[in-house]
Amino acid sequence: MNSVSPILSRAAFERPPSRSDLVAPDCRGLNFWSIDRSVRDLLALNLEPAALAHFTPHLERLGGIAGGRLDELALQADKRTPILHFRDRFGRDEDWVEYHPAYREMERIGFGEFAIHAMSHRPALGWPTPAAPLVKYAFQYLFAQSEFALLCPLSVTDTSAVLIRKYGDDAVKTRFLDRMLSQDMDTLLKGAQFMTEKAGGSDVSGNALTARKVGDHAGGHWELWGDKWFCSCVDHDVVLLLARCEGAPAGNAGLSLFAMPRRLDDGSRNRYRAVRLKDKMGSRSMAAGETIMEGAVAYLLGEPGRGLKQMMDQVSLSRLSHGFRAAGMMRRCLNEALQVARHRSAFGRTVIDHPMARRQLLKLMLPTEQALSVSVAAAMAMTRGDDAALRILTPLVKYRATRDNVAVATGAMEMRGGNGYIEDWSNAKLVRDAHLGLLWEGTSSVNALDIVRRAVGRERAHEALATSLHDDLGRAPIPGQLRSRLAGLVDRATDFADRVARQPEAEASCRRAASGLYHATSAALLASEGARLGAQGGDARRLLLARLVIDHRLGNADPFSLPDHRHEDAMTAALLDDAPVSMERAAELAAG
């Protein structure tokens, strides 16, 4: 293993003392790649050495931008939200969205400089082939630590290209694909997805947008009539949406997938209008609005009546992106909390030396590390083509990591105190943005039902997940007692989810079953990662995190007992210390 700084190095966070440091500093000016031992370790475990060596300088460069210029731009764009103009100066109905220059500069970083939207489709950043999924998501993870909203257009452009490539005919691919994967901001076609209608979001069975056929099928197109209620990236160039062809049956079976361009082949505007921008709680830099289609030209993707099934390909990819975004945002929150704890004094001691503060930092650290491990596991399942494991890992990380993100963002704001509530700092924006992750691509209940009722009950995906986790536990040099305990927890979690799936009257337990699966999965992954890293002479502290997941997130301690904190205090001290944790020390503490 290469010698790298510890997971939460105190030295990496140090600032020269000055009179201005009476207020605890934030993470502005730090390199978010260099201070993050966890992501570097997991990429080293999972990427091919050549790819790791090639992309590391690019990730380091983005880490520096994320900790500097991107962070500045994100706060500017969050405060100066998009403006919808309904007409041009000649009185024509040319509705258009005006963005602050800070947003346009962030677009150039994400689309133009790093090609986050295109790197899994074509060579980018000097790599000769499309990048592995984990590489793309590592860039998203770093980007999210400063800017959440712009990852919607970056991700949806990427995933829209996937669907057009998979389901579009040759004419549609020729019309859109090359420009959707461009890094030239003047020619780039940015993607969008309009799914929600006024009746609701997750249940699209009542969607009423109507598609009418124009011309013969081979050379014709369709016209769309109706409206969409929540349209992220409302002014983007290629929109994927669901519509009901005239004469199609009611319900999901009548929905078809279409690609709708903002401008027609002759450059004229398509026949739909943005009629309002949403005044959102978070994700404020990105324009989301309402649209009315008045005969808008669109192109059918794939077979009529299979639109929802096709669109779920995009939803699944977006859910995994949300896992990495949540992991990245939690990392930023944890790092912000550490900055305060290491630079602020209270009641005669540095904050980090207070036992309750150390426990609070641990409560921020655990979900942060869990989200990263499960997200990486899902990306690797995608790389291996393990569709069954990916099928359950994706909604698992979307369900639990986005929920944890809200609590971690709130806890980090509390660590900063009153300043965390002030918009000069990143904490308030992180809290606001975190909540949207709960809503996009299905609420918590929708994802829990998908996990338990469909992935477990119908598709038996938990069996593939359990097999994969047992294989990991068997191959990694995990101390025997901890390995046995983890194997048992995996079996108990999958068995409980199976029992809930088999009993329709147990629907209220779906969230509990999904959480149990997530925690058992993350504990097994953390232990395997820590043991593998420790065996290579690296930092084995993820073994301690695995043990703490068992104790804190799967435990059922008596709430009125007075616990002996000495063992947990020893693990916390190791996790907050600069020094790497040896395999021997990690095994000793994890087994205690």
Q: Which residue has the higher pLDDT, 149 or 199?
A: 149
Q: What is the pLDDT of residues 363-378, one digit of tens each?
A: 999 999 999 999 999 9
DSSP classification of residue 269 = B
pLDDT at 539 over 50: yes
User: What mean pLDDT comes out for the span 154-177?
Assistant: 97
- What's the pLDDT at 10? 55
The residue extents of the domains of the chain are 444-591
For CA atoms 69, 74, 75, 81, the dihedral sign is positive
As a whole number of angstroms, the distance between CA 407 and CA 236 comes to 32
Q: Are 197 and 227 in contact (CB under 8 A)?
A: yes
- What's the pLDDT at 8? 47
As a whole number of angstroms, the distance between CA 559 and CA 488 comes to 24
Residue 12's pLDDT band (cuts 50, 70, 90): low
User: What mean pLDDT comes out for the span 173-181?
Assistant: 97
- What's the pLDDT at 19? 46
User: What mean pLDDT comes out for the span 289-317?
Assistant: 95
- What's the pLDDT at 216? 67
- What's the pLDDT at 4? 37
As a whole number of angstroms, the distance between CA 191 and CA 232 comes to 10
As a whole number of angstroms, the distance between CA 457 and CA 510 comes to 11
pLDDT at 441 over 60: yes
Nearest to 261 by CA among 189, 311, 179, 178: 189
| Mean of the per-residue pLDDT values of the chain | 93
Q: What is the pTM of this model?
A: 0.94
As a whole number of angstroms, the distance between CA 271 and CA 224 comes to 9
Q: Are 201 and 230 in contact (CB under 8 A)?
A: yes
Among residues of the chain, what percentage have pLDDT more than 90?
Answer: 86
CA diameter of the chain: 80
Q: What is the bridge-based pairing of β-strands 210-214 and 238-245?
A: parallel
